[in-house]
A and B are shown apart, each in its own frame.
Chain A
Amino acid sequence: MLSRRVFLAAGGATAGLASLGMPRMAFARASTPRRFVFIIQRGAADGLAIVAPTGDPGFAGIRGAFADDLQGGAMLGSFFTLHPALAEIAKLYAGKQALFVHAVASPYRDRSHFDGQNVLETGGSAAYRVKDGWMNRLLGLLPQDEARALALSSTVPMALRGSREVSSYAPSALPGASEDLLARVAKLYEADQQLHALWSAAMETRMTAGDLAAGGGQNGAATGALAAKLLAGENGARIAMIETGGWDTHSGQRGRLAAQLRGLDQMVSALKAGLGADWASTLVIVATEFGRTVAPNGTGGTDHGTASAAMLLGGAVAGGKVIADWPGLGQGALYDGRDLKPTTNLDSMIAAALAQHYGLDPARVLAALFPDSRGTALAQPLIA
């Protein structure tokens, strides 16, 4: 408790100096510039429409009009086609900075978004079994100067919740509270364990963020740019989570999904641009709680399914390939007779990517992040 108090006092003093034009407190010098961003697609993104198995003989027949949407998309090898709305990500693939993993799923096998997201974020094998998030546990495996994590939202999502402190930041349209009030609130919360921890984290982020509120953050590009600002430079966060919604396309999927993907594409593009040289040592993982039905439903959409596709993006990635133990789309090959069958564990993929990214033992990462996992980390090189 004593050390926390001292720390807060130091932070407060620095904030005061900064406002007088004095140099800001520098965080401890970073040992490596590695960065990791997790973009969650809430609502079950349709992997078959995003990384489409156009080479599967059953694809065109079962997908009907949806198959037309792939025209003009980048070919990923001879079997898969990337949705044409992902133009910037296609360039990353060409430059070997994008890798896709298909027929991938978390251990969750039912079709509730909320339970599925809980499994995806906690890293458990069933909903609500694990009480903290795998990203928070990841912080425990990293050296202190790399374990600075941030949620780009005003609240902390499940994946980042846990015993280690995490900041959150979202642009505010309100005029800032006065420095005097902020200092008084700090004092008011000193004896309240929960509020004190939250307030300290907020004040730290505030010092790093500066005047970012003007950026907006309404669309993908702005969010990507904001994330880049918060991740850039020596004092920035090293790990961030960005939440995206709108993937639950039960109806009118073709137009809606294209718009979603354009937003995602711009977000990644802005993140890359904003990170500059740091992009070279950045890993971005894009994943969703589960996939969608192989066949379109009666309302031009798809319903909740099982396996989907995940993306690894960034200068750190050994890209230019699609990893899939392809199960096929024939009726007999489908999971429950309706969904893409999962053949790769998302847990194994995430653990392998992070272990390779941070130079950690894959088995140890898997055990820490996904304690119930019965698989092993993927052996393929995912990081360059």
Chain B
Amino acid sequence: MNAAAIALNRFGLGARASDPLPADPKAWLFGQFDRFEPRPQALAAVPARSEVVQQLGAYIAEARMGRQQRRQMQTAGATDKPEQQGNGLPDSTRRYLRRSIRDDYLVMTGARVDAALTAAAPFVERLVHFWANHFAISADKLPVIGLAGLLEFEAIRPHVLGKFADMLTAVEQHPAMLIYLDQAQSVGPDSPLAQRIAARAGRQRGINENLAREILELHTLGVRTGYSQADVTEFARALTGWTVSGLGRGPAARMPGGGAPGQFAFAGLIHQPGERQLMGRRYGQQGEAQARAILLDLAVHPATARHISTKLARHFAGDDPPPAMVERLTQAYLKSSGDLPAVYRAIVESPETWAPQPAKFKTPWEWSVSALRALDQRELEATLAGALMNQLGQPTWKPGSPAGWDDIAASWAAPEALVRRVEVAQRLGERAGSTIDARALADKVLPGGVSETTRAAIARAESPAEGLALLLVSPEFVRR
């Protein structure tokens, strides 16, 4: 690959036939810092957070009423089965699922594809996808189906060219994350509310350490970087009280002073009182400020700098990130106190990222976006976008765990996965039909990098559609 091809395909989201070749690839990449649109037109149809959370709140209230009614029926000795259908889900759940998948999840996955196809700054757009995966939530957990996309649109996009600390805080205070990692229901055992419940009902309420652990392990320091189980527990105590307003469940529902539905709320009534100690530091702050102060320290911790630099280097320079490059990015991160553009500059200035051999096997997402861009598609029907990612094995915002999708070839370069790509390529080729000449397109989207084998395969294809399919699954095109 030459430098222009690397800028377009390794750094960007894939060349489009209609785009001119960048004359100065580095300048083209740096210029994108000014061109990036946090809220592009493609996201205009995305539903507002308050709507999504109101639906969720209404569903939770309905589900709770249903449970109470069933309990009363059971106590009264009724033998009727509660409202349930074949797959075991109550009707109210299925109604909610159907609506939030159609109105929220699918609309947002479609908007994400459209934003990628029309991006004014494809390098920065790629970084948005990188961070969304770094702060992964998985929409297969029912209550976050409608919120998953909003985390990316509201917490990541506005901060992708800012300080890591600001992105981190925005993510951890976003309802999607607070709900996904069970923070919204975590109660300090010595908080006023827990004491009241214990006195009145004799029940114990307690903390849930899920979010605290994943912040340390996945979002900031990285696993095995020296923090202990005690640090996790202390952090979880500090985070108690971080919750979401307007959800209609949990102790926060009873809190006065909550904002609009879906806004971050600090509920002092469930906050564990007292000073916290984490990794040798004392945090004597009151209320929300306590966990916020911990986050700010974590954001500029050397282990965080190294963790993030390693992941970024892996994303651009290859599955085994070169140690010298990781060190360079780490220094850029620490010197700038986590100023992300400074780190991105260090990536672009690293000679390792300009190696002519392909550095990465594209993930299904990367491959799909680059294929659609190659065919000059500007939008994709939302249901098609969803189906495409499901079939290729990387359903959008559903990595199945907070660790996100792997960023190494071993996770994606598998026999069956390759067959799926060929099947999709055939469909895409058929859709484009004979309007595009794959022989000419190959040199535009893979400038200076089309092998003789690929050129011959395309030339001998039995139809224009088959020629396009072969281009899209060629060794050059499935890698970047």
Chain A interface residues (CB < 8 Å from chain B): 42-43, 110-115, 127, 151, 153-156, 161, 167-170, 172-178, 180-182, 184-185, 187-192, 194-195, 198-199, 201-202, 205-206, 245, 248, 250-251, 259, 297-299, 301, 303-304, 336
Instruction: Kindly report which residue of chain B lies nearest to residue A113, judged by CB atoms.
Output: B401
B466 near A173 with CB under 8 A, answer: no
A156 to B410, CA, bound (A): 8
Cβ of A154: which chain B residues have Cβ within 8 Å of it?
Answer: 392-393, 414, 416-417, 420
Can you list 14 A-B contacts with CB-CB less than 8 angstroms, sorted by A residue number? A113-B403, A154-B393, A174-B424, A178-B426, A184-B466, A188-B470, A191-B453, A195-B418, A198-B414, A245-B401, A297-B206, A298-B207, A298-B208, A304-B213
Interface segment, one of B95-103, B181-189, B332-340: B181-189
The 7 closest A-B pairs by CB, nearest first: A298-B206, A202-B415, A155-B414, A154-B393, A201-B415, A174-B423, A168-B416
Which of these, A153, A174, A176, contacts B391 with CB under 8 Å?
Answer: A174
Tell me whether A43 and B401 are in contact in the complex, defined as CB-CB below 8 angstroms, given that A174-B423, A259-B88 are known contacts: yes
How far in angstroms is the closest Cβ of chain A from B66? Answer: 14
B206 near A195 with CB under 8 A, answer: no
A112 near B223 with CB under 8 A, answer: yes
Cβ of A156: which chain B residues have Cβ within 8 Å of it?
Answer: 410, 414-415
A205 to B418, CA, bound (A): 13
Which of these, A167, A190, A248, contacts B415 with CB under 8 Å?
Answer: A167
A279 to B419, CA, bound (A): 31
Query: Is B217 in contact with chain A by the CB < 8 A criterion?
Result: yes
How far in angstroms is the closest Cβ of chain A from B323? Answer: 15
A111 near B423 with CB under 8 A, answer: no
Query: Is B317 in contact with chain A by the CB < 8 A criterion?
Result: no
A251 near B419 with CB under 8 A, answer: no
Which of these, B223, B422, B454, contacts A177 with CB under 8 Å?
Answer: B422
B413 near A194 with CB under 8 A, answer: yes
A172 near B420 with CB under 8 A, answer: yes
Cβ of A43: which chain B residues have Cβ within 8 Å of it?
Answer: 401
The 0/1 profile, CB within 8 Å of A marked 1, for residues 260-288 of chain B is 00000000000000000000000000000
A219 to B387, CA, bound (A): 19
How far in angstroms is the closest Cβ of chain B from A192? Answer: 5
Chain B interface residues (CB < 8 Å from chain A): 88, 182, 185-187, 189, 204-210, 213, 217, 223-224, 229, 361, 387, 390-393, 400-401, 403, 409-420, 422-427, 453-454, 457, 460-462, 466, 469-470, 473-475, 478
How far in angstroms is the closest Cβ of chain A from B363? Answer: 11
Instruction: Kindly report which residue of chain B lies nearest to residue A161, judged by CB atoms.
Output: B410
How far in angstroms is the closest Cβ of chain A from B6? Answer: 19
Which of these, A114, A190, A198, contacts B223 with CB under 8 Å?
Answer: A114
B391 near A297 with CB under 8 A, answer: no
Tell me whether A181 and B466 are in contact in the complex, defined as CB-CB below 8 angstroms, given that A154-B420, A155-B393, A170-B393 are known contacts: yes
A114, A167, A182: which has the most chain B beta carbons within 10 Å? A114
A298 near B426 with CB under 8 A, answer: no
B420 near A303 with CB under 8 A, answer: no
Instruction: Kindly report which residue of chain B lies nearest to residue A178, judged by CB atoms.
Output: B426
